[in-house]
Amino acid sequence: MCGIIGVLGDHEVAPILVESLKRLEYRGYDSAGIATVHDGNLDRRRAVGKLINLSDVLVREPLRGMAGIGHTRWATHGAATEGNAHPHRSGPVAVVHNGIIENFRELRRELAEDGLAAQTDTDTETVALLTRLYLDRGMSPADAAVATLKRLEGAFALLWLFDGEDDLMIAARKGSPLAIGHGDGEMFVGSDAIALAPMTDRITYLEEGDYAFITRQSLVIRDQADQLVTREEQRIDLGRTRVEKAGYKHFMAKEIAEQPVVIGDALAHYLHADQINLPADLDFAGLDRLTLVACGTGFYACQTAKYWFESLAGIPCEIDVASEFRYREPPMPQKSFALFVSQSGETADTLAALRYCQDRVQKTVAVVNVPSSSMAREADIALSLHAGVEVGVASTKAFTCQLTVLAVMAIKAGLDRGHLTQAQAAEHIATLRALPGVFNAALACSDEIAALSEKLAEAQDILFLGRGPLYPLAMEGALKLKEISYIHAEGYASGELKHGPIALIERTVPVVVFAPYDRLFDKTVSNMQEVMARHGQVLLVSDAKGIAQAGEGTWATLKLPEVAEPFAPILYALPAQLLAYHTAIAKGTDVDQPRNLAKSVTVE
């Protein structure tokens, strides 16, 4: 969600801070600001809206200094206003913060009694006020920050800057990620290594509960027990942090087009010849259950994978939304794996669910796109998506890579449990290996989808239907459309249509039907006929055989290449994405940064 940057440099930092914040724009935000220390004086500039507005402010009111912090805010407490924008300042201290301070109301009341009344609607201001209180009582900046940390409840990544201290930043992490970058006589802090990539490839990640005192020449880290600790310095691949549109109008368009390549990359990593290259201790034999947990698009990937794990491997699967999972306090069979799916590897609800399952199951498995993320570090086994940096808020290539990795896992599970023969597994592997080429061929339908989307853009409600593993894909298609076009859309299992949703069918409601010519095709067509009998406008997405069999009477058809069962959802994700993309273009919405949404959701 929000983005943090901090620099102790040897050049003017305002331009560096703004440029680094631009690299975090993909997270989603509604305001931005920076603070610097110059000749011992702390000052700040803030603006609502995009970073260009902050740049305009800095042109009119320049901010000097070689030490500074910056932030892009996604509103949680209080509206998007300049007053609520970060950095928050109280007297000699400025703070930027990701996360939520859960006990801020209680602290705010105490501070008011001490004469430090809140001036904003935010929880973050409480951190600045509390630190100021301890400074006023004679504490050093370091002691004041630590004393403040002891009073905070919730999840946070925090970065402090102090008046009179041009060679000191203090950072703390609990629940939200924070990385420290090492330079030559310079130091950097970021909520994401992407923000630090232009400045350094040497990164130290703070672990849960850590806080750090940072100068240009030193880094001192203490853990949540206040003990001095050493955290590993890592080298990051700068190529994997590159965020460029490469000639495309939007990041989402670029990332849709990259799918044949990244799916191929994932397959190349996890398939060697006809052998599956997964960790040896990821052994599914003898399991009583597999629990899959995720949020949003990752949840739909898990729902799709449930069909695969149960049909290919015979493993009973439980799927849950991460934000509900741990609060149910579900009993976990000892003979089980818990699998967690997240693009960022920092999704707060999913990370909390992973921690709940530790010591309750045989193995926790993280399927993530960021190998250095919290989930990857804390899980027993971490599997990378190999999707590369995904900037568009609406996930595309990460989703198809999630499906691809989960499909490989399901085939291995089938072999481990004797549910698949080697010949059957080889057939499924061949289907997966063919997907990049099939995807390339299917991308040619983009112009046709753009034309269809002109009509979809006029609708107020759109339904998506699918059966079997295409049912979660229908829900994912509806989610994509909602996210970036703001059209109300819902995905349903085709067979559930007559149990309620059919009441919504009328001439003005387009219905997108995902129906490859498979063993469930005739059932899906029957439901599609129910829609057409009530004057619903059906867009049938199928292959040549399916369209020849059932295309008559539909509003439109969209032909995809044939793909063998059961992995059609991976291919059919493409038209779902393109329908959302082109409909959003037709409506003129912000495709890459849709309103109210954030790329990495690091709060509950």
Q: How far is CA 268 from CA 273, 402, 575, in A?
A: 9, 14, 24
Which member of 2, 302, 401, 445 is catalytic?
A: 2
To the nearest 10°, report the CA torsion of 229, 231, 233, 239: -150
Asked whether the beta carbons of 31 and 79 are under 8 A apart, the reply is no
Number of other CB atoms surrounding residue 405 within 10 Å: 26
Asked whether the beta carbons of 453 and 579 are under 8 A apart, the reply is yes
Which member of 174, 397, 482, 599 is catalytic?
A: 599
102's CB contacts (< 8 A; 6+ apart) are 153, 154
Asked whether the beta carbons of 454 and 472 are under 8 A apart, the reply is no
278's CB contacts (< 8 A; 6+ apart) are 270, 383, 408, 409, 412
498 belongs to the catalytic site: no
Residue closest to 34 by CA, chosen among 47, 52, 50? 47
Residue closest to 292 by CA, chosen among 229, 337, 352? 337
Residue closest to 84 by CA, chosen among 28, 5, 30, 151? 30
141 preceded by cis ω (within 30°)? no
Say which residue the tokens 């705010």 belong to. 108
455 belongs to the catalytic site: no
Residue closest to 443 by CA, chosen among 224, 248, 158, 169? 248
Residues carrying an active site annotation: 2, 599
